[in-house]
Amino acid sequence: MNTILERFIRKEPHFPTMYEESVMKRLSLKGAYDQGGVRSEEETFSVGKFFNRYYECFMFAALVGIKAGYELPFDRAQEGKKFLPVSDWKPKRLADYLFMSMLTLSDTDLAALDELDEKQIDDKAFDLIKLLERYAYGGFDLIDKELKENQHSFDDPFSIALFLKNVKPAA
CA 143 to chain centre: 13
More confident call, 110 vs 131: 131
pTM: 0.88
- For residue 153, pLDDT beyond 70: yes
Q: State the total domains in the chain.
A: 1
For the cut 90, the answer to whether the pLDDT of residue 123 exceeds it is yes
For strand 80-82 and strand 14-16, is the pairing parallel, antiparallel, or unpaired?
A: antiparallel
For residue 154, being part of any structural domain is answered with: yes
The runs of H, that is alpha helices, within 69-170 are 76-79, 92-105, 118-149, 159-166
SS (H, E, C) 47-90: CCCCECCHHHHHHHHHHHHHHHCCCCCCCHHHHEEECCCHHHCC
Indicate whether 65 belongs to any domain.
yes
Domain that holds residue 22: 4-166
Q: Assess if residue 13 is contained within a domain.
A: yes
21 part of a folded domain: yes
Residue 171 included in any domain: no
Residues of the chain with pLDDT > 70: what percent? 88
Decide if 86 is inside a domain.
Answer: yes
H or E, element range at 16:
strand 14-16
Q: Choose among 83, 107, 97: nearest CA to 31.
A: 83
At 116, which amino acid appears?
L
For residue 25, being part of any structural domain is answered with yes
